Amino acid sequence: MGRVAIVTGGSRGIGASISRALKEAGHEVAATYGGNDEAAKAFTDETGIRTFKFDVGNYEACKSGVGEVEGALGPVEILVNNAGITRDAPFHKMTPQQWSEVLDTNLTGVFNMTHNVWDGMRERGFGRVINISSINGQKGQFGQVNYAAAKAGDIGFTKALSLEGARKGITVNVVCPGYIATDMVKAVPEKVREQIVAQIPVGRLGEPDEIARCVTFLASDDSGFITGATLTANGGQYLA
């Protein structure tokens, strides 16, 4: 059944694969982004998927952004909270700004978006919320106190909210990708990449489409008995 879906950060990287996969599954997709107009335009030109620009870290911007999407496509039934950033530094050098930027986008952004679709999902008795966390929110990572705290927060958010949505037909789940072959990871020096791959039992990086398939399943009507779950997709690198 085709439904209306929002994918935050849906114009690039893993989010772009998720947007495409949801469209292929028959859903009407809105991909949001933060500032890269060029990438968003190229994505829309290539896929026909509409893009909407607003900062997930800003509650009022999310409220009007969701309103704009709903005006264009209809009530949102699937929300994928994928937008995320890194501002890495060892803790003793981490600035309050690096802390706040990552928490605002990666954790508060999840609150801001979900809060603005939640009432509608409750009223209609159906919803799918899928949050994209990270292996580093499960296991921690040197230089990523801000990122790991936010991504671990996304897991706690998911578990608590799933209990509130359960009787209303709303499932809330979280996907924890390991290292995925996005531009960011492909840009690291080959030697570093080899070191990363050496830690992955399946012997390769993940593909964005592999995360997209996890999300498409969790977004489907078939997944109604799965809620509050953490779906780990990391090639065996960390067994949570």
Chain contacts with ligand NDP (rule: CB under 6 A): 8-9, 11-15, 32-36, 39, 55-57, 82-85, 105, 132, 134, 177, 179-180, 182, 184-185
Amino acid at 201: P
**Least spacing, CB of residue 167 vs ligand NDP, in Å:** 29
Q: Specify the residue, 28 or 154, whose C-beta has the smaller distance to ligand NDP.
A: 154
Using only C-alpha atoms, the chain has a radius of gyration, in whole angstroms, of: 17
**Least spacing, CB of residue 237 vs ligand NDP, in Å:** 11
Q: Specify the residue, 126 or 136, whose C-beta has the smaller distance to ligand NDP.
A: 136
For residue 230, which phi and psi values (nearest 5 degrees)? -110, 115
**Least spacing, CB of residue 234 vs ligand NDP, in Å:** 8
Name residues whose C-beta falls within 8 Å of residue 208's C-beta, 6 or more positions apart in sequence.
13, 14, 16, 17, 18, 180, 181, 182
**Least spacing, CB of residue 197 vs ligand NDP, in Å:** 12
Catalytic status, residue 147: yes
CB-CB contact of 166 with 211 (8 Å): no
CB-CB contact of 46 with 39 (8 Å): no
Q: Specify the residue, 32 or 216, whose C-beta has the smaller distance to ligand NDP.
A: 32
Give the helix ranges, DSSP H, for 125-144.
135-139
Active-site pick, 33, 59, 147, 238: 147
CB-CB contact of 122 with 17 (8 Å): no
Q: Specify the residue, 4 or 40, whose C-beta has the smaller distance to ligand NDP.
A: 40
Which residues belong to the active site?
A: 147
